[in-house]
Amino acid sequence: MLTRNVLRNRTEDFTDEERSVLESAVERAQTHAAGQTVVRQRCAVDTSTVLVQGLMTRHVHAADGRRHLVAVHVPGDFVDLHAYVLKQLDHDLGALTDVTVALVPHAALDAIQARHPQMARRLWFLTLLDAAMHRQWVMRLASLSALQRVAHFLCEMNAKLLAIGQSDGQRFLLPMTQTDVGEACGLTNVHVNRVLRELREMALCSWRGAQVVLHDPVRLAATGLFAPDYLYLNPAMSLRVAGHTGDANAR
Amino acid sequence: MLTRNVLRNRTEDFTDEERSVLESAVERAQTHAAGQTVVRQRCAVDTSTVLVQGLMTRHVHAADGRRHLVAVHVPGDFVDLHAYVLKQLDHDLGALTDVTVALVPHAALDAIQARHPQMARRLWFLTLLDAAMHRQWVMRLASLSALQRVAHFLCEMNAKLLAIGQSDGQRFLLPMTQTDVGEACGLTNVHVNRVLRELREMALCSWRGAQVVLHDPVRLAATGLFAPDYLYLNPAMSLRVAGHTGDANAR
DNA sequence: CGTGAATTTGAGAGCCATCAATCTAAGTGG
DNA sequence: CCACTTAGATTGATGGCTCTCAAATTCACG
């Protein structure tokens, strides 16, 4: 079941019928090696991509070529669904690890939109989740210190991986270099290193190789001013995420 | 015609029939005074809002209450169309000036989605434009200096206002305080002031009261590393915007 | 004119970038 | 099994961009 993680544990979910419609819309699976660019800016596309296994990045380029991440995608993310509507993308998609993706032709999405309006709305919802996350990334860059940014980023990844069963709430694998984290948080790799040391010394988290351990998720969320509302998780999952508004840290 | 600026001069546009469907989906118009909050975070909503006249801001709050803009909306923007799908918002919408808005009940949007799939796709497109702009805001905050950020912001506002006929390509009204600009660019009002002085001294632009004049749009775009691809303007409009890729400043 | 908001300018401090060097770990080939 | 290579992590020193605090000036408006 290639698409089983799509919308998993969000406030909206597919019905069983819808999920099988989505599954049968998959044309084929494909793999890409770590480091490859999967979809390139400005190329017209007629297929969209569901990430099945591995991690992908979405990054924009400044006109001078500097690269910046706007999203880190986990399995279940319909990484370029918006290309179905926009027809060409304003950014690149890259493979952070070796990845498996499922390809969905836009013609199949046309059929879904014509025959399953409710399901089309759920696909729309998926793209709006991305937008909501973008807004938090804006907030993070604009309002948070380096320490807070990295803490916030780790909380977000923890929550997203928790939703698809790839974190237990404290431990998960995140095969990113400190340079990658810098590109996600608007920091240099050098400063990311210092911040991670500080988080380690504060006993909030550790990160050796790809293994991340959040020793105190609640305090980490407080440090990063993380509140997971914007992830639109379903109530059950929301309760399991540190920083949820039940913590009464709403403004 | 309250909705005439919706999708105006973008790569997708409504047919005449679709536009009249949208127009008749409007329940009523409404006004709000400058400074008012129009839609508040976390409130469930059953109506979406098209901005008809005036300017609105979209802003998120950090958990400590600090406010940050993620968008400045101009007439024709369907400012909270995403609430139709998300059901509740993760941010606030505020009136920057006195504004007129048109209210579209979600029930009317349900009808459109059921009966006009192609039109539904265009509404989806609208929300994806917002996401594309969010990505540029992320880039701006992460990769640009203060001077570049403000230059980029002014180029963006110029392009958006040009598309709806409220800029001539060099001159437009932008009734924002320097504090507002700071919240949009991740800067303090003090530093915004210094940056504007520098842009003035470089003979790139001036800003007295609400009147913005771009004395050299091309050089301003180059300064802010502005490339308008992400606005998905139609070809004719794209050519009129400084920084378009015909300038051969693509990476 | 008086009042308050917004703009403008100055001085000092701090966070983070930059530059540079060292260290570690994981291959790779002989 | 061990030099050799390379990518990434780590640490130090320095500098600059931007924030903070503070005060003066301009502007809008009643």
CA of residue A175 to C1' of nucleotide D2, angstroms = 29
Where b means 16+ CB within 10 Å and e means fewer, A181-195 reads bbbbbbbeeebbeeb
CA distance B142 to chain A (A): 5
Full DSSP string of chain B: -TTTTTTTTBSS---HHHHHHHHHH--EEEEE-TT-EEE-TT-B-SEEEEEEES-EEEEEE-TTS-EEEEEEE-TT-BTTTHHHHHSB-SSEEEESSSEEEEEEEHHHHHHHHHH-HHHHHHHHHHHHHHHHHHHHHHHHHHH--HHHHHHHHHHHHHHHHHHTTSB-SSEEE----HHHHHHHHT--HHHHHHHHHHHHHTTSEEEETTEEEES-HHHHHHHTT--GGGG-B-HHHHHHSTT-GGGS---
Rank B32-46, B56-70, B87-101 by mean pLDDT and report only the highest.
Answer: B87-101
B90: pLDDT strictly greater than 80: yes
Instruction: Give the model's confidence band at A246: pLDDT under 50 very low, under 70 low, under 90 confident, else very high.
Output: low
Instruction: Give the model's confidence band at A40: pLDDT under 50 very low, under 70 low, under 90 confident, else very high.
Output: confident
CB contact under 8 A, B135 and A90: yes
pLDDT averaged over chain A?
94
Instruction: Give the model's confidence band at B248: pLDDT under 50 very low, under 70 low, under 90 confident, else very high.
Output: very low
Chain A residue numbers touching B70 (CB-CB < 8 A): 134-135, 138-139
Arithmetic mean of pLDDT, A206-220: 96
Polymer length in residues for chain B? 251
Chain A residue numbers touching B124 (CB-CB < 8 A): 85, 124, 127
Q: What is the pLDDT of residue B251?
A: 37
pLDDT, tens digit, for every residue of A177-190? Answer: 999 999 999 999 99
pLDDT averaged over chain B?
94
Residue of chain A nearest B221, judged by CA positions:
A63
CB contact under 8 A, A86 and B127: no
Cα–chain center distance at B250: 23
Chain B residue numbers touching A60 (CB-CB < 8 A): 135-136, 138-139
Q: What is the pLDDT of residue A175?
A: 96
CA of residue A141 to C1' of nucleotide C16, angstroms = 13
Query: A141: Cβ under 7 Å from strand C?
Result: no
B246: pLDDT strictly greater than 70: no
The answer to whether the pTM exceeds 0.85 is yes
Instruction: Find the range with the poorest average confidence among A137-146, B33-42, B139-148.
Output: B33-42
Instruction: Give the model's confidence band at B190: pLDDT under 50 very low, under 70 low, under 90 confident, else very high.
Output: very high
pLDDT, tens digit, for every residue of B124-136? Answer: 999 999 999 999 9
Instruction: Give the model's confidence band at A66: pLDDT under 50 very low, under 70 low, under 90 confident, else very high.
Output: confident
Q: Any alpha helices (H) in chain A, and if so which ranges?
A: 16-25, 82-86, 106-115, 117-143, 146-163, 178-185, 189-201, 217-223, 235-240
Residue of chain B nearest A130, judged by CA positions:
B131
Instruction: Find the range with the poorest average confidence among A59-73, A193-207, B86-100.
Output: A59-73
Q: What is the pLDDT of residue A160?
A: 98
Q: What is the pLDDT of residue B216?
A: 96
pLDDT, tens digit, for every residue of B203-221? Answer: 999 999 999 999 999 999 9
Arithmetic mean of pLDDT, B89-94: 92
A123 or B41: whose pLDDT is higher? A123
Q: Which residues in chain B, range 174-233, keep a C-beta under 7 Å from any nucleic strand C atom?
A: 177-179, 189-190, 193-194, 196-197
Q: Is B249 on the interface with A (CB under 8 A)?
A: yes
B243 or A120: whose pLDDT is higher? A120
Chain D bases having any atom below 7 Å from a protein CB: 7-13, 17-22, 27-28
Which residue minimizes Cα–C1' distance to C6?
B177
Q: Is A13 on the interface with B (CB under 8 A)?
A: no
Query: A199: Cβ under 7 Å from strand C?
Result: no
